[in-house]
Amino acid sequence: MPNRLGKGLGALLAGADIPVVADASTRINSDAGTQIRIDSIEDNPYQPRQDFDIQSLEELAASIKTYGLIQPVTVRPVENGKYQLISGERRLRAAKIAGLTEIPAYVRTVDNTLSLQMALVENVQREDLNAIEIALSYQRLLDECSLTHEELSQKVGKDRATITNYLRLLRLSPEVQIAVRDKHITTGHARAIVSIEDTTLQSKLVKEIIEHPLSVRQTESLVKKYLADSNTKKTKVKIKLSDHVVNFSTSLSKKLNAKVKVNKDLSGKGAISIPFASDEELNKIIDLLSV
């Protein structure tokens, strides 16, 4: 298997059976795998990649017309003499544009789970995959393949912190995720925005970034300002105390001859404070409370 596929995909492919197929849709070529008719290859239902740049595909198609398809796609046999694509959809699409009727392919016998893993791992190792597609691929590997974060880290060759940072992007509003996908904002912008939990505010920030436009550093500063303003507003929220608590505060204030304050937040947590101006006043309060 060529090294360009990365150690993650190479590890997945290692040991997979390579059946010798001898029907009308295939032709064995020892140098480039098996030649398979394009019309016998079905789409990959696990394809994590959503967007294919048409100009890039046409450029690859022109190259394929001149030099042929250098790197084979990977498929697995399914029913009725058909094959299901595992990896290489961009190459397959470009080959169709180039007018090829058959292409070289590595044929692997794998189950649905391993097929999904191979497709996802191959895709996340591509440099042109956007951050949201990578994040979705990581999440699918965790959910559908029942991988732990440690196992995922080993398969894709990324440390756990990097994987966590990508997964956090899925907490962004759909509008922000689309902006990342369409390259209106960078991954750096997105990572700054994800610190804000309010998805409405996230979308508002995206509009500001695009309209002005703002650098990642400017976005980080703006996010800090929003967070600071939000915290200030939270501290200013006044919680109405029940009559029982108010009566207690008033009664205790009279008893101690000091202004007793009861503060409570939205969660129900709070504190009772009793001010004093000297050690003498403090001792009086202690004596009164000790009775």
Neighbouring C-alpha atoms within 13 Å toward the C-beta of 147: 24
Cis peptide upstream of residue 19 (ω within 30 degrees of 0): no
One CATH from 3.40.50.720, 3.40.640.10, 3.90.1530.30, 2.60.120.20 for 3-129: 3.90.1530.30
* Residues ≥6 apart with Cβ < 8 Å to 73: 41, 85, 86, 87, 88, 89, 91, 92, 103, 104, 105, 106
- Where do the structural domains in the chain lie, given as residue ranges? 3-129, 172-236, 243-290
Backbone angles phi, psi at 287, to 5 degrees: -65, -45
Which residues are annotated as catalytic? 89
pLDDT of res. 20: 33
pLDDT of res. 18: 35
Burial 202-232 (b: 16+ CB within 10 A, else e): bbbbbeebeeeebebeebbebbeebeeeeee
Identify the band that residue 216 occupies on the pLDDT scale cut at 50, 70 and 90: very high
Identify the band that residue 166 occupies on the pLDDT scale cut at 50, 70 and 90: very high
**10 vs 252 pLDDT, higher one:** 252
Q: 282, 288 in Cβ contact below 8 A? A: no
Burial of 87 (0-12, 13-18, 19+ CB in 10 A): buried
| 3-state DSSP percent of the chain in helix, strand and coil, to 5 | 55, 10, 30
> Which pLDDT tens digit goes with each residue over 95-120?
999 999 999 999 988 877 777 777 77
Rounded Cα gap, residues 48 and 124, in angstroms: 9
pLDDT of res. 167: 93
* pTM of the entire predicted model: 0.56
**31 vs 159 pLDDT, higher one:** 159
> Which pLDDT tens digit goes with each residue over 127-145?
567 888 888 888 888 887 8
Residue among 136, 114, 119 nearest 42 (CA) = 119
Residue among 212, 173, 214, 179 nearest 196 (CA) = 173
Residue 163 DSSP one-character state: H
Rounded Cα gap, residues 289 and 291, in angstroms: 5
CA-to-CA separations, 175 to 131, 204, 212, in angstroms, rounded: 14, 10, 18
The DSSP bridge partners found for residue 264 are 270
